Structure 1
Amino acid sequence: MSEKLSKAALTPATHTTPPAKFSHGVRKGNVLQVAGQVGFGPAVEGQAPTPVGPTLREQTLQTLANVEAILTEGGATWEDAVMIRVYLTDTSHFAEFNEIYNEYFASLTEAPAARTTVYVGLPAGLLVEIDALAVLG
């Protein structure tokens, strides 16, 4: 009989407590799943989270930083990511998003993660959401 792996919830200091019963990230063994992150700036005590700005660039860079904070909290890096899912609110943002994404990941030394992009509705003011799956070791 094999030993049961424990599951650990991950919430970096930069993040607020999730608004429902879920974790920003979960690590179990060598698998780390990052929940969908949006372009909210760092948590400020007593204030509701708000987007860092109105542009796709601002929100994408903050969203990627938020995903990276959870990866780091779980002992992973972007090099460990095997799957990234992107949720855009506007099909016309696809080309601009790809430019931002390619710039952000230009320094990766290993094969890039697989990626899926879909179009969704998000709360007012939010343009992008990103989640990731990483495997460590």
Structure 2
Amino acid sequence: MGQSEHSMDRPRTMNPVGMATPGGHYSHVSVTHGLIFVSGQLPIDSSGRKLADSSFEDQAEQVLANLASALAGAGSKISKLVQVRVYIVNVEHWAKFNEIYARWAGDARPARAVVPVPALHYGLKIEVEAVAAV
């Protein structure tokens, strides 16, 4: 395989404008073969402030805003979501999340998993990752 063929297979990564700098060795977005993979988004605002002391509702809205920003930065949008994975620290938050998510997603109904977990980084209550079409 020639160098140019190999580079065509390499995912294009980015950290869209308006999102906090990633806190580890990763990019917010990786694009390959017509798909956009969005790394787990935590409730961290664009200035890098972690919303650990905010309500679950505020954290969920921030995470979904981050996801929308990541999609827009990669040339996609909510209606092109293929799969969404949600991690919440307490299954009791599921109903409230589903309500917020339904309002945010509108007519989009991608495949989805909501997984209760014992803890998330920085004491946050929710993390969301997703795959979308370009």
Question: Shared fold by TM > 0.5?
Answer: yes
Q: Give the TM-score normalised by the residue count of structure 1.
A: 0.84
Task: Measure, in 2, the Cα distance between the counterparts of 1:18 and 1:104.
Answer: 24
Q: Which has the higher helix share?
A: 2
Is 1:24 the equivalent of 2:28?
Answer: yes
User: Structure 2: any 5+ residue segments left out of the alignment?
Assistant: none
Unpaired segments ≥5 residues, structure 1: none
* Alpha-carbon distance change, 41 to 114 in structure 1, aligned in 2, over 3 angstroms: same
Deviation at 1:123, TM superposition (A): 2.4
Tell me which amino acid in the other structure corresponds to 1:114.
A
TM-superposed CA distance for 1:52, in Å, is 7.4
Q: Percent identity?
A: 30
Map Cα deviations across residues 22-66 of structure 1 (whole Å, 9 max, x no partner): 1111011311000000111112xxxx5321751111111110010
Residue of structure 1 in register with 2:121 after alignment: 123
TM-superposed CA distance for 1:102, in Å, is: 1.4
2:133 to 123, 132, 135: 135
Q: Which AA in structure 1 matches 2:130?
A: A
Q: Corresponding residue for 2:105?
A: 105
Q: CA deviation at 1:17?
A: 2.4
Number of matched pairs: 129
> What one-letter code is carried by the residue in structure 2 that aligns with 1:70?
A
Amino acid at match of 2:18: T
CA contact (8 A) 1:51 1:125 kept: no
Q: Which amino acid aligns with 1:9?
A: T
Q: Distance in 1 between matches of 2:58 and 2:92?
A: 16
Aligned to 1:67: 67
So what's the TM-score if we normalise by structure 2?
0.85
Partner of 1:11: 15
CA–CA distance in structure 2, aligned partners of residues 56 and 115 of structure 1: 19
CA offsets 1:52-101 (integer angstroms, 9 cap, x no match): 75111111111001011111111111111110000000111111111111
